[in-house]
Chain A
Amino acid sequence: MSQLKILHVDDEPDIREVAELALSIDPDMEIRSASSGLDALDVLGGEGWTPDVILLDVMMPELDGPGTLQRLRALPGHSQTPVIFMTARAQAQEQQRFINLGAVAVIIKPFDPMILAGQVRDILAGAGS
């Protein structure tokens, strides 16, 4: 299985920790976490590490998920980086809105930590087909 670099962005420390744990089930996933949209933009704008996919919480203070997505698209090298939104808003209309914003998929929270890594792999396999 190919190495996959993942940036997970969520303002809740417990969720970041359990997501890191969940994604580490897959030994070929390299995970970094960011505690806010602004923190994520700092990581993405820095040198030396480029994620293959970004897991982005929707509701965050200061800069929310959609706002973060808009700004990261303007960063060099990130116009096409796949973004998966993570949200507790499960309504189909909301999910479609997130897709229309440019996300490749939406993972509904609460997520199951036992299957999160597989979900991410499946989404990316589908997005690339």
Chain B
Amino acid sequence: MTDAFQALRARFRVRAGEELAQLQTLTAVSSDSVELRRLVHNIAGAAGTFGFPALSQAAIVIDDHYAAGEQPPADSFRTLAQALSDAATGA
């Protein structure tokens, strides 16, 4: 389990880098789109499973705003971007 999980965790780090690029691309256009909501929701649901609870939490904050019909604050996207960067680089 441990070796296999570590391999999945390493793969998730690569994915975090890709998702950071996606996040930057999508938020440059709009802070609310179907693609952005899906990206945020997927990060919220997955990151903690791979050992990145802070990343999940950053995404959950935004996901909760969307679920409540609210516009997420700009700061929350910056926090998510930083958490993705940390996960990708192992910071």
Instruction: Spell out A's residues near B (CB within 8 Å).
Output: 12, 14-15, 17-18, 21-22, 24-25, 59, 61, 86-91, 94, 109-113
Contacts and interface: CB of A to CB of B under 8 A. Distances in A.
- Tell me whether chain B's interface is mostly helix, strand or loop, or mixed: helix
Interface residues on B, range: 20 to 34
Contacts of B60: 88, 90
B50 A18 contact: yes
Given A89-B63, A110-B44, 8 more contacts: A18-B8, A59-B45, A86-B45, A88-B44, A88-B45, A88-B63, A94-B67, A110-B53
Given A14-B50, A94-B67, A87 B5 contact: no
Contacts of A21: 1, 4-5, 8
Contacts of A61: 38
5 contacts: A21-B1, A22-B1, A89-B63, A109-B49, A113-B1
Given A109-B44, A113-B5, A89 B50 contact: no
B42 A110 contact: no
Contacts of A24: 1
B21 interface: no
